[in-house]
Amino acid sequence: MLQASTILQKTDLDIEPDFEEQLAELLALCHEHLGSVDEDMLRRSFRLSYWAHRNDWRASGERYISHPLQVAKIVAKDIGFDDISVAAALLHDVVEDTELSLDFIREEFGETMATIIDGLTKISGVFESRELGQAENVRKLMLSMATDIRVILVKFADRLHNMRTIEALPKEKQLKKASETLDLFAPLAHRFGLFSVKSELEDLCLKVLNPESYHEIVQRLEEMAEEREAYIAAFTKPLEEHLREEGFEFDIYGRVKNVYSIHRKMKRKNQPLGEIYDIFAIRIVLQSDGKKGKEDCWRVYSLITDLYKPLPERFRDFISVPKSNGYQSLHTTVLGPKGRRVEVQIRTQEMHEIAEKGVAAHWKYKEGVGDADREMDQFLDWVRDLLENPEPERATEFVKEFRLNLYDEEIYVFTPMGDLMTLPSGATPVDFAFKVHSEVGMQCIGAKVNGKMVPLSHELKSGDQVEVITSKKQTPNPDWINFVVTHKARSRIRHWRNKQRRETADLGREIWEKKADRASLEVSDQDLQDYAHELKFPDLQQLFYEIGSGLYEADELVQYIKKGHREDEEAAEREDEDALREKYEKFLDTAQTTGKQALLINGELQTDIAVNYAACCNPIPGDEVFGFVSKTGTINIHRTNCRNAPDLLTNHPDRILEVDWSRQKDIQFVAALRLMGEDRVGMVNDITTVISKNLKTNIRSITVDTEDGIFSGTVVLHVSDLEHLRRLMERLKRIDGIHGVYRFEE
């Protein structure tokens, strides 16, 4: 077995002068940007990497050692975390690509280094395989960052250098690597606060994926450079004079936005570069920190707005409420010379370093990963929560959700006690409830925003104060999945929904077994599986689920088996979709007109046909609905937002009919309302008076539960149409103490 000391002490290890110079440059960068530097560890790491890669060459024709050296320089200069991460950068490929083992690294450099190198080795194949493998590789990436944050930091540097030298690869590989970088590594760098790394990765990706747009923007920026510099000078000159008069120590300069962000803005606004006003920003970096630094930022803001007219709607205070990656700065947009809009960013030197280097700067200022920062801990908690989701998800959904959460814009809301919470833009009270605690989310029945009751789908805004109303008897509504945006809320709702689906299937099996016993049928699961396939159910579980949810009657299955329709159904299976559709249309055409009830089906008025209004969603005239043709020819009418609609529309498109309400004569429909509010004497009497006496509506049943001064109840009643139901809801909302009235399906 190779001994570390043998390699590291070899006198005949002939290191080329150029690489000796690069090692010296690396050590100088470490002393400039890192808090402490173990030169001996770094030299040993370099010598080992040089020896391990002695026979390796890059696609560009360079010695392979040039790559780990450049990666280490990026870690030292652009990320600036610590000397262990720089040493790991030098060694990041040795276990994967050479004869050295992980035990070898552990023996020479210790357990921490071995853990980092092991993490880097495991995630080296991210996105190499297809969907399922892709999701698994993303999980590996997340696991590694949750174990030691230096793994992902070194990986950023590795990817950045690979993108800088990507021209040496075949075009197909360039496109693949650029796509995965833009898809995953750039947004991850954004989430970690590594602005400079993220911006360069995006530009390099655009250069590969859309070279025409990249070069066009670069050329136009160069053409506009002289005019832009003159304008920046005219804008900053009076500002500099005022700042000096007030005794500030500062740096001020104009920063052109990265090419990719300009490209994205041009596409989003569908405008040429000449019409995009905010292609640069003025940045003021103050040489004062701590509490005085924050106060100075506000003083500078006041000076700027004395000179130039501010646009209040464009002001952002990220100092009082930092972004989740730790970013702090004041942003304002003002009208500069010639009436042009100019964005100005005001920050301290410490804020500036955190803005550029993110979590690495937190390490420098807070002296240790353990104290790094609360927001990054929250991000890693999100990573762990995503990994620990108890319900296995489809690969594409998992990866999509992971990526979307990386680039989320953020809002800041408050609990009733005044505690601050960060949520992604578009979040709802349900997302807030799950953020507070999983059980709060599961038992959420309503919410108040700024003291007023709002629907659970209400989109929260920064500054909102949110109060969640819960009930131990409440369970998640599957419809919530359509409007929640956080992973935690989506995964918990999905887990509960799948659990309910399993329980419904178990109920369906129980119903079937009772029906089969009564009919004296003995059918094995294998035979039942065959019958399920003949009836076009994908599997036995789906058959039981539809029986349990009332979508398919167990009696129909009993009759089918008894009457031996097997051969007929085999023939029906051979009918193509058009023939099946024709069969249903002929059935509809033969319906007799009685005038009792009418529906527009596929654009034609149909009367007195075999229609069933699905109990799973209780549709009423005025609802958006569709028809689902059962296997016996009955048309089941479902609301388009029925919990069963996605399954029916996706898996049985050939059995879906377009339905619209035409006219109804003297027909009452079942509807249900969910009410909640304050528990007080006479509340139930007030509710029933409004329904029965004031609005002349028949009540079928009413149930009320009370807990901790809050009541929640369900009223099942008979209505003529949607307008009738809406009038009823509006009148109930006016009852004193009622906080919410919602339509409810059971």
Helix/strand/coil (H/E/C) assignment for every residue in 83-121: HHHHHHHHHCCHHHHCCCCHHHHHHHHCHHHHHHHHHHH
Strands (E), 476-608: 597-601, 604-607
Nearest to 42 by CA among 14, 101, 82, 95: 82
Could you give phi then psi for residue 465, rounded to 5 degrees?
-105, 125
Beta carbons within 8 Å of 366's beta carbon, 6+ residues apart: 372, 373
Cβ–Cβ < 8 Å for 618, 610: no
Of 25, 97, 459, 654, catalytic: 97
Cβ–Cβ < 8 Å for 144, 123: yes
User: CA 228 to CA 552: how far, in whole Å?
Assistant: 70
Residue carrying the six token digits 């050692």? 65
User: CA 116 to CA 384: how far, in whole Å?
Assistant: 18
93 is catalytic: no
Of 20, 32, 96, 582, catalytic: 96
H helix runs in 289-416, sequence order: 290-307, 349-357, 359-366, 374-387, 395-406
97 is catalytic: yes
User: CA 470 to CA 446: how far, in whole Å?
Assistant: 7
DSSP 8-state assignment for residue 339: G
Q: What six digits make up the tokens of 695?
A: 């609005």
DSSP 8-state assignment for residue 258: P
In Å, how far from its chain's centre is CA 296?
36
Q: What six digits make up the tokens of 418?
A: 């005044």
Could you give phi then psi for residue 92, rounded to 5 degrees?
-65, -20
For the stretch 52-55, contacts whose Cβ atoms lie closer than 8 Å and that sit 24 or more positions apart, written own/partner, are: 52/94, 52/97, 52/98, 52/99, 52/100, 53/93, 53/94, 53/97, 53/98
Question: At residue 382, what is the residue type?
Answer: W
- Residue 636: its H or E element: strand 635-639
Percent of the chain that is helix, strand, coil (3-state, to 5)? 55, 15, 30
Active site residues: 96-97
